[in-house]
Amino acid sequence: MTFRPLHDRVVLRRIEGEEKTKGGIIIPDTVKEKPQEGEVVAVGPGTRDEAGKINPLDVKPGDRVLFGKWSGTEVKIDGQDLLIMKESDILGVVA
């Protein structure tokens, strides 16, 4: 990828949800909600404190994370649909 996020920004790729319910019912695309889980693709260097020291981010590329339903900005980079958001919009890392 030729994109490097700045400060506390994180680039995510959405992880698509299940196409079927547990009972075997197929969910059509028109009814599916956007997934709230993604994989971290790239992270910025971090934020600066008052002394000018950089505080690194808690997430790293490859982490699976959960984020808010309306979080982030959707962009298309190198033909991929990605999300750019601040680290504070990430709810947690999936173990």
Asked whether the beta carbons of 81 and 14 are under 8 A apart, the reply is: yes
Number of compact structural domains in the chain: 1
Nearest to 41 by CA among 70, 15, 19: 15
Phi–psi pair at 45, nearest 5 degrees: -70, -25
Instruction: Give the pLDDT confidence score for residue 33 in this predicted structure.
Output: 60
Better-predicted residue by pLDDT, 20 or 62: 62
Helix (H, G, I), strand (E, B) or coil at 15: coil
Q: Which domain does 5 fall in, by range?
A: 1-17+40-95
Instruction: Indicate which CATH number applies to the domain containing 81.
Output: 2.30.33.40
Instruction: Give the pLDDT confidence score for residue 34 in this predicted structure.
Output: 67
50: in domain: yes
pLDDT-based confidence at residue 2 (cuts at 50, 70, 90): confident
pLDDT digits (tens, 9 = 90+) for 21-80: 567 677 666 655 666 889 999 999 998 889 989 999 999 999 999 998 888 899 998 888
Amino acid of residue 60: K
- For 28-80, what is the HEC assignment? CCCCCCCCCEEEEEEECCCEECCCCCEECCCCCCCCEEEECCCCCEEEEECCE
In the predicted structure, residue 10 carries a pLDDT above the cut 90: yes
91: in domain: yes
53: in domain: yes
In the predicted structure, residue 1 carries a pLDDT above the cut 60: no
